[in-house]
Amino acid sequence: MRQKRQRKTLKVWSRLQVHMTTSYVGVSVVTALLIELLLFVIFFVVLSPLIDQNVQDTARRTAQSYALEAADQGGGVTLNPQSTFQLGQPHSLVLPGGDGSQQTPYIQARSHAPQMGEVALLLTPNGQILASSSPARYPISTPVAQVLPEQKQLIRNALAGRGGSKIEFTAQGHIVSASEPVWSKNRKPMGAIYVQVTSIPFGGNILSFIGFWLATGLFWLILTAPVGALFGVLTTRGLVQRLHRLVNATAQFANGDYAQRVQVKKPDEIGQLEQQFNAMAQQLVESMEQRQVLIEQNARLEERTRIEQELRTARLIQHSLLPKEVPTLPGWQIATYYQSAREVGGDLYDFLTFEDGRLGLVIGDVADKGVPAALVMASTRSMLRAAAQVTDSPGEVLARVNDLLYADMPPKMFVTCFYAVLDPGSGKLHYANAGHDLPYQRDAGSVYALHATGMPLGLMPGMRYEEQEVIVAPDESILFYSDGLVEAHNPRGRDVRLPSSANIAQRAC
């Protein structure tokens, strides 16, 4: 098993060495490609505009040279119909012995190339081709607007005496067009020369180089792969061996060999890891003994802290959900008292105020004590508030809350609850009871229990709750209480403590 784990570790670190070597090769290739890309960008941003401008100037000079020769052949009166761009002919517009850079080649045979590239045309005043350096593509006597519709405005300006030039960026390259008028003796245009040349014989944007640029990546990969691989193996061999020793020491330490340490050979990053491993191992061995001593003590403290925290949380929840203030109703006096039997309990009371001035009175008790009862009490309070906003019927409110509590009520737990709605103006008290201790109404000479039948909440689904009404006359009072008032007695049968919660509502005279 141990040998198998060591073989697996060797494979992992061998794979790391391969990855590191591959990264050397990748960095070399990417660096070469970035340098290429930088050169391309410099060419497009800096050199390409200079080349275009130089070619544009050359095209205009060539057109002007042809225009002067055409005017000379026509005697400054009209164009010579026998003018040609073919070198060596009697009426050739190309001067023998001239600058070859300012001459357009004469192509007589039909070419299958697109209508781009170099061409020179002699145009009559009405825009027809009188002479062409490429008769196959631009035949004689053809309207120039028909074969060069995109250059129509440039040629029209030249025929009107305004020479000019422009550059077009096409998929075939940068196409430079220039057109110059042929002037007569009295300085009137009697025709025009149109010259078209290619400035940069490739696509007019940097995206045209992407394919070529990516293709060179294979060349750089083949060129740098052997060197990068050899360099990567030599530089990573010692590093991987040191990491391997550190991993083995860590694995043996984790398996219980706490005397395991590694030798620090170099003060580099790996050496820092080795030093930190040795220091960590020593500190861990020392702390294990102290930790063993503190385990039991910490366990007891944690348990006590957990219980205290639960009690504080439950007490906070319980007291935060109780009403902060007693409602003030004209002509009524309301008093409350709350005391739980333990740190926390399951008793609750609440006041619900409605927009029409009525007041909802809630008192309840969860059949348990401690944290679980406090949590159920909190849920019951929220459900009662939500249900009271939906319906005015106390019985329906209790029925809704009963069905909701039944779905999630813990075993052997239920909630008793008395819910009433008081109309302060008329003194009418509309109420329903879910198994809670009966409230008492006291008048001048008697005390009456407020009866209403109904099962406690959360025991059975689909329960219905009887609703009753009483009138609280002036100087009468009603006592709402929980079981703490009636269940706590001393051996002589007398009460020994205050109720867990109690509300007293009294109507003033």
Cα separation, 420 vs 122, in Å, equals: 109
Question: Among residues 242, 278, 236, which one has the least CA distance to residue 260?
Answer: 278
pLDDT band for 172, please (50, 70, 90 cuts). low
Give 499's pLDDT tier (boundaries 50, 70, 90): very low
pTM: 0.43
Q: Quote the tokens at residue 122.
A: 């002699």
Locus of tokens 């000379």: 72
Closest alpha carbon to 465 in 405, 407, 398, 385: 398
Top-ranked range on mean pLDDT: pick from 76-80, 214-218, 321-325, 465-469 = 465-469
Determine how many CB atoms are found less than 10 A away from the CB of residue 365: 28
Query: Per residue in 283-313, pLDDT tens?
Result: 777 777 787 788 888 888 888 888 777 777 7
Q: With contact defined as beta carbons under 8 Å apart, do 455 and 491 qualify?
A: no
Q: Over 60: is that where the pLDDT of 60 sits?
A: yes
- Give residue for tokens 């309301």: 334
pLDDT reported for residue 102: 58
Where exactly are the structural domains of the chain?
2-208, 261-321, 323-507
| 8 A C-beta contact, residue 83 and residue 70 | yes
- The whole-number pLDDT of residue 463 equals 93
Indicate the CATH number for domain 323-507: 3.60.40.10
Q: What is the DSSP string of 127-180?
A: SBEEEES-TTTS-TT-BHHHH-GGGHHHHHHHHTT--EEEEEEETTEEEEEEEE
* 407: nearest Cα among 373, 432, 383, 438: 383
One-character DSSP codes across 259-312: T-------SSHHHHHHHHHHHHHHHHHHHHHHHHHHHHHHHHHHHHHHHHHHHH
Percent of the chain with pLDDT over 70: 77
Q: Give the Cα-Cα-Cα angle 354, 356, 359 (nearest 5 degrees).
A: 45
Q: How far apart are CA 419 and CA 53, in angstroms?
A: 95
Which of 100-109, 182-191, 396-405 holds the top average pLDDT? 396-405
Residue 94 CB burial class (10 angstroms; 0-12, 13-18, ≥19)? buried
Mean model confidence pLDDT for the chain: 79
Q: Say which residues have a Cβ less than 8 Å from residue 323's Cβ, sequence separation at least 6.
A: 336, 349, 350, 351
Closest Cα to residue 155, out of 107, 185, 120? Answer: 120
HEC states along 339-407? CCCCCCCCEEEEEEECCCCCEEEEEEEECCCHHHHHHHHHHHHHHHHHHHCCCCCHHHHHHHHHHHHHH
CA-based nearest residue to 405, from 416, 417, 414, 394: 414
If you ran DSSP here, which 8-state letter would residue 489 be given? B
The pLDDT, as a whole number, for residue 359 is 93
| Predicted pLDDT at 393 | 93
- Tens-place pLDDT, residues 272-283: 777 676 777 777
Strand order of the sheet with strand 501-507? 332-338, 501-507, 477-481, 440-442, 447-449
**Structural Rg of the chain based on CA atoms:** 52
Question: Do 502 and 485 touch, CB atoms closer than 8 A?
Answer: yes
Sequence-ordered list of residues with C-beta below 8 angstroms from that of 67, at least 6 positions apart, any chain: 180, 181, 182, 183, 192, 193
Residue 169 has pLDDT above 80, yes or no: no
Is residue 88 predicted with pLDDT exceeding 70? Answer: yes
Tell me how far apart the alpha carbons of residues 146 and 127 are, in angstroms, rounded to a whole number: 10
Q: Please say whether the beta carbons of 106 and 87 come within 8 A.
A: yes
Closest to 371 measured CA to CA, from 403, 413, 336, 419? 413
User: Tens digit of pLDDT for each residue in 211-230?
Assistant: 666 677 677 777 777 777 77
CA dihedral 283, 288, 290, 296 (to 10 degrees): 150
Distance CA 398, CA 94 (A): 111
Taking only the tens place, the pLDDT of each residue in 419-451 is 999 999 899 999 999 999 999 999 877 998 999
If you classify domain 2-208 with CATH, what class do you get?
alpha beta
CB of 348 within 8 A of CB of 416? no
- Give me the pLDDT at residue 204, please: 47
What would the pLDDT profile of 457-469 be if each residue is shown by its tens digit?
999 999 999 999 9
Instruction: Please say if the pLDDT value at position 395 is more than 70.
Output: yes
- Return the number of other C-beta atoms located less than 10 Å from residue 166's C-beta: 15
The pLDDT confidence band at residue 475, using thresholds 50, 70 and 90, is confident
- Give the model confidence (pLDDT) of 337-362 as tens digits: 887 766 666 788 899 999 998 999 99
Both tokens assigned to 304: 């006590």
Task: Say which range, 15-29, 416-430, 488-502, has the weakest mean pLDDT.
Answer: 488-502
Q: Which residues does residue 337 pair with via DSSP β-bridges, in sequence order?
A: 502
Q: Is 363 exposed, middle or buried (0-12, 13-18, 19+ CB in 10 A)?
A: buried
Mean pLDDT confidence for 86-104:
72
